[in-house]
């Protein structure tokens, strides 16, 4: 199952000195996470939104308050140490290419319209293919798709505001009808 984890305002620890460490830290800071980068050997200074701690590993106290920990250097000793602590401390762990120690994988995401996020994962198999596929999928979203989406959102919000369940609605049928109406409208505009 793929889920979208809301990390805005959540503490995320990055452990590593690679370029990947700074890239991940920057990406998470862009999403509003409170990012702390633990790195004894990092060469570049991250931007001001990222707290840099010049240590090879975080103290257990920091792990206890972390929502997510990402280890980027593929260091078996550090990854194993974090894996042993994750259930005790209660954080989700990502160790990049080590599937057996990962709680989650990063997905390639694109947001072609506010409210529509496309996510592609290869479960760590090929991040570059995931990026390429996400780009192709995002470019295939049409203006009709966006109009249908916006109308469905309005309909669902109206139902919820009236105290009605939106679960019983046949949303695929609603979408089909909206697309038919939009096609008819487009044809009548072309004819006139």
Instruction: Please state the rounded mean pLDDT for residues 178-190.
Output: 91
Among 104, 135, 159, identify where a domain stops.
104
Domain for residue 153, yes or no?
yes
Query: Could you tell me if 39 and 98 lie in one domain?
Result: yes
5 domain residue, yes or no: no
pLDDT digits (tens, 9 = 90+) for 49-63: 999 999 999 999 999
Residue 113 belongs to a domain: no
pLDDT grade for 170, boundaries at 50, 70 and 90? very high
**Of 89, 104, 119, which residue constitutes the final position of a domain?**
104
Q: Which residue range(s) make up the domain with 148? A: 143-191
Count the domains in the chain: 2
Q: Are residues 84 and 155 in the same domain?
A: no
Is residue 73 assigned to a domain? yes
**Residue 191 banded pLDDT, cuts 50, 70, 90:** confident
Residue 1: its pLDDT value, please? Answer: 67
Cβ-proximal residues to 98 (8 Å cutoff; 6+ apart), any chain: 74, 79
Whether residues 28 and 100 fall in one domain: yes
Boundary-marking domain end, from 77, 104, 131: 104
Mean pLDDT for the stretch of residues 68-79: 95
CATH code of the domain containing 66: 3.40.50.720
Q: Check pLDDT > 90 for residue 122.
A: no
pTM for this structure? 0.75
152 and 99 inside one domain: no
Q: Is residue 25 domain-shared with residue 99, that is, in the same domain?
A: yes
């Amino acid at each position: 199952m793929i889920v979208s984890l809301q990390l805005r305002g959540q503490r995320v620890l990055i452990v590593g000195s690679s370029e990947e460490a700074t890239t991940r830290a920057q990406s998470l800071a862009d999403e509003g996470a409170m990012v702390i980068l633990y790195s004894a050997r990092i060469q570049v200074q991250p931007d001001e939104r990222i707290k840099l701690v010049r240590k090879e590993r975080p103290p257990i106290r920091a792990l206890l308050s972390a929502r997510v920990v990402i280890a980027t250097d593929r260091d078996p000793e550090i990854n194993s140490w974090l894996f042993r602590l994750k259930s005790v401390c209660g954080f989700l762990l990502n160790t990049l290419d080590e599937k057996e120690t990962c709680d989650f994988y990063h997905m390639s995401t694109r947001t072609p319209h506010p409210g529509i996020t496309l996510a592609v994962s290869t479960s760590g198999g090929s991040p570059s293919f995931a990026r390429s596929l996400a780009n192709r999928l995002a470019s295939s979203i049409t203006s009709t798709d966006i109009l249908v989406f916006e109308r469905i959102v309005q309909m669902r919000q109206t139902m919820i505001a009236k105290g009605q369940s939106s679960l019983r609605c046949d949303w695929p049928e609603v979408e089909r009808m909206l697309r038919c109406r939009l096609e008819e409208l487009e044809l009548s505009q072309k004819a006139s």
